[in-house]
Amino acid sequence: MAKGNLLYAQSGGVTAVINATASAVIQAARRHKVKVLAARNGILGALREELIDTSKESIGAIRALAHTPGGAFGSCRYKLKTLETDRAQYQRLIDVLRAHDVRWFLYNGGNDSADTAYKLSQLAAEFGYPLACIGVPKTVDNDLAVTDCCPGFPSAAKYTAVSVREAALDVAAMADTSTKVFVYEAMGRHAGWLAAASGMAGNGPDDAPQIILFPERTFDETAFLAKVKATVARVGWCVVVASEGVRDASGHFLSEGGTVDAFGHVQLGGVAPHLAEIVKNRLGMKVHWTVPGDRSRTRNGGRRSRR
């Protein structure tokens, strides 16, 4: 492949370590005398020709990226349409890539970002433009194909375990006269890695979380309620961790919101409040629930915690 520039972009929800990947990409490219351009706000930066020349940054600043949270170059949730649907959009991408002599495109994100990289590779082949497209792993869900451990998952796994442990201590302290059940919602539409990570919060058979619900396992309401009731009777309280993608026997998400997101995925409304309502209505127990990252408010009966 002829000498040229590398275009790097970040996509989807940023993680605590996505900038560490950016730092590594830029440093590796510099060792090979390749200039790295960073698109502002993901693929949108390429379409808008808003590109950052990282060669103007000192090596100290690039190394510091590895310890900087958030997305340094901005991110987006934007799904490219098919080539047949919006050919002008793809022509624009090729024009921008040609104008800046981009020969490598690295898109740092999850499954949908890998799909974007694939579409761009198909586009380049059709236009006869030499371009290497690479999907760079990033997702806290840890659900990328042929990727054992996604950057972003370990830090999120630790956060989940620590949060569940802290919440369990609060519930245990108040269970005698107040909350009996706490429901913690973990990210994971199709993969239960983060929910499973919550198991690190406890050491013994009665330690929290006593119940973990996975998207890979069909939700059985009767069995769930029986387990909650038995746990409260035995331990005095119960902590439930549920993946956002928990489904019923018909295959529907428990928390389907009736809308779709930018990538066409069903928008989920929150499985934690759904489960809290079930426990409150069927067992008559006071319940707290939380969706990490959400702003919190308190409600009588089913109460959202500030985590």
- How many CB atoms are located within 10 Å of the residue 94 CB? 18
- CA angle, 160 then 217 then 156, to 5°: 15
Distances (CA, A) of 35 to 177, 244, 279: 63, 40, 57
β-sheet with 132-137: strand ranges across: 51-53, 36-39, 5-10, 102-109, 132-137
238 closest CA partner among 168, 178, 165? 168
> Alpha-carbon dihedral of residues 7, 13, 15, 19, nearest 10 degrees?
20
Strand, coil or helix: 183: strand
- CA angle, 252 then 192 then 135, to 5°: 100
Options 86, 95, 101, 141, the catalytic residue: 141
Cis peptide before 130 (omega within 30 of 0): no
Q: Could you confirm whether 141 is annotated as catalytic?
A: yes
Catalytically active residues, by annotation: 141
